[in-house]
Amino acid sequence: MNGPLIPPAEAPDFLRPLVEASAELDPARFARVTGPPRTGARLASVLMLLGDTADHGTDVLLLRRADTLGSHAGQVAFPGGGAEDGESPVATALREAEEETGVAPEGIRPVAVFPRLYVPVSRFAVTPVLAHWHAPSPVRPVDPAETAAVARVPITELADPANRFQVRKRGAQGQKWRGPAFTVKGLFVWGFTAGLLSVLLELGGWAREWDRDDVRELDVALAEHEARTAARWM
């Protein structure tokens, strides 16, 4: 079940709107995902870990998956992965975050669980777990074969209209898809993660008006981003 894990009054001010909203969230609020089927889905969790710093305010922990992975290679994501037998969504999210980024679990306080969301392309039923990073620890790609990069991304940069647009693509069966995207801190964020981030910005009161008519072809936009990123290191 989704909802608060702590009384909303105990949440830090910047997370309280998200904790309060978690009980009433409908999966339809999220882009490109639906409620999970009754059978056949693999359980998974992601950790939406938000901290607050004196330098740049609220931020969120993201990673970029290794280019050599068999699924979702090179994509930006929240820390997370498949559940082990008997494991709760919160336990899965914390374990996977530590395995992928080296974050210290004792510095994390889970505060709410969002609705379980089904991602058809991977057949995962994913539970997003919202957490407060009350004692930040160093993070890094623990296993380069799985994680290429880890970053704390300021919410203000995600909300900046200059960093937001939409992408579209045509699926293998000819179906069309369109969804939100971000380019921030050298990362190109789209798909499931971008959909979650969009909802976080809205529920948290951080969203700003942006050009929803700026729609780009996914393959073209991603190639241009990778070319610009590579040029920075030449």
Read off the pLDDT of residues 7-60 as tens digits, 9 standing for 90 and up. 999 999 999 999 999 999 888 787 555 555 656 789 999 999 999 998 889 999
- The predicted pLDDT at position 172 comes to 63
| Homologous superfamily assigned to 3-232 | Nucleoside Triphosphate Pyrophosphohydrolase (3.90.79.10)
Can you tell me the distance from the alpha carbon of 206 to that of 82, in angstroms, rounded to the nearest whole number?
30
Give the start-to-end residue ranges of the domains of the chain: 3-232
Count of C-beta atoms within a 10 Å radius of residue 42: 13
- Give me the tens of pLDDT residue by residue for the chain, a chain 234 residues long: 789 999 999 999 999 999 999 999 888 787 555 555 656 789 999 999 999 998 889 999 999 988 765 555 678 999 999 999 999 999 999 999 999 999 999 999 999 999 999 887 778 899 999 999 999 999 999 998 889 999 999 999 999 999 999 999 876 666 678 999 999 999 999 999 999 999 999 999 999 999 999 999 999 999 999 888 766 644
5 burial level (CB within 10 Å; 0-12, 13-18, 19+): middle
> Rounded to whole angstroms, what are the CA distances from 8 to 13, 18, 136?
9, 9, 21
Ordered alpha helix ranges (H), 122-190:
155-159
In sequence order, what DSSP letters do the residues of 180-201 get, joined into one string? EEEEETTEEE-HHHHHHHHHHH
Answer yes or no: are the C-beta atoms of 194 and 72 closer than 8 Å. Answer: no
Residue with tokens 């780009």: 216
